Structure 1
Amino acid sequence: MWTKHHRQRKLGRLIVPAITIAFLSYFGYHSVHGAYGLEATEEFERQRVARADELADLTQKRKALERQVELLSDGSLEHDILDEKARYQLNLSRSDEIVIFNSYFH
């Protein structure tokens, strides 16, 4: 009766752990540094906060413009607003006035 004995190779026992380590290393690296990883998530959050601040600023400017339009178009024209707009557009002032330039109408 013939029997074959196979000698166990030490290399064979290391293949599965090596593949597992490579697999976990690859996905671990990309979970931190990848396009949707932790660093990208932090950058997205910084952009969200910056854009929320920009939105609040633009909302405030829009409300100011809406208030100006309301004063000009409610049927009874406010004379001081009309005078202020005309002076600004025509770049005119009286000799007894002090002019302070403000970007209010831009």
Structure 2
Amino acid sequence: MGAMAPSPPHSHRGRLRGFLGSLLGMLVVAYFGYHAVQGDRGVLALARLNKEIEHARSILDERKAEEAILQARVTRLSPESLDRDLLDERARSMLNRVRPDELIIRLDDK
């Protein structure tokens, strides 16, 4: 058998360029893949934002319910539909007044 002739240097360069090109391509894909998941606008950030939105919506629903209750009380105190019992209760509470024939029972606010 004959001795193997040394391969021309351009074939090593060609393989090296192919390898480096593939490596560079994989690095670019890995970089963008990482940022698609972990980045500021990635999948995990989107999930975190969706959770924050859901929490904010639940708080908004609670506030709307509180507002509806307060609005109903305001409506009952308006001149068009005055609730005399509520007016009497609020006036006594704000002025700290009672009638002599009333009994006061204090409840601790805990």
Please, what TM-score do these two structures have when normalized by structure 1?
0.78
Identify if the C-alpha distance between structure 1 residues 93 and 45 changes in structure 2 by more than 3 Å, giving closer, same or farther.
Answer: farther
Identify if the C-alpha distance between structure 1 residues 25 and 41 changes in structure 2 by more than 3 Å, giving closer, same or farther.
Answer: same
Give, in whole Å, the separation in 1 of the partners of 2:72 and 2:47: 38
Q: Name the structure 1 match of 2:68.
A: 63
Q: CA deviation at 1:71?
A: 0.6
Q: Name the structure 2 match of 1:14.
A: 19
Give, in whole Å, the separation in 2 of the partners of 1:7 and 1:76: 96
Structural mapping, 1:1-106, within 5 Å: 7-9=10-12, 10-93=15-98, 96-100=103-107
Question: Which of the pair has more CA radius of gyration?
Answer: 2
| 8 Å Cα contact 1:93/1:99 also seen in 2 | no
Identify if the C-alpha distance between structure 1 residues 75 and 100 changes in structure 2 by more than 3 Å, giving closer, same or farther.
Answer: farther
Q: CA deviation at 1:6?
A: 5.5
Gapped regions of structure 1 (runs ≥ 5):
none
Structure in which a larger fraction of residues adopt helix: 2
Please, what TM-score do these two structures have when normalized by structure 2?
0.76
How well do the aligned residues superpose, as a CA RMSD in angstroms?
2.2
Please list every run of at least 4 consecutive aligned residues from structure 1 whose deviation after the TM superposition is greater than 6 angstroms.
none
Give, in whole Å, the separation in 2 of the partners of 1:13 and 1:99: 87
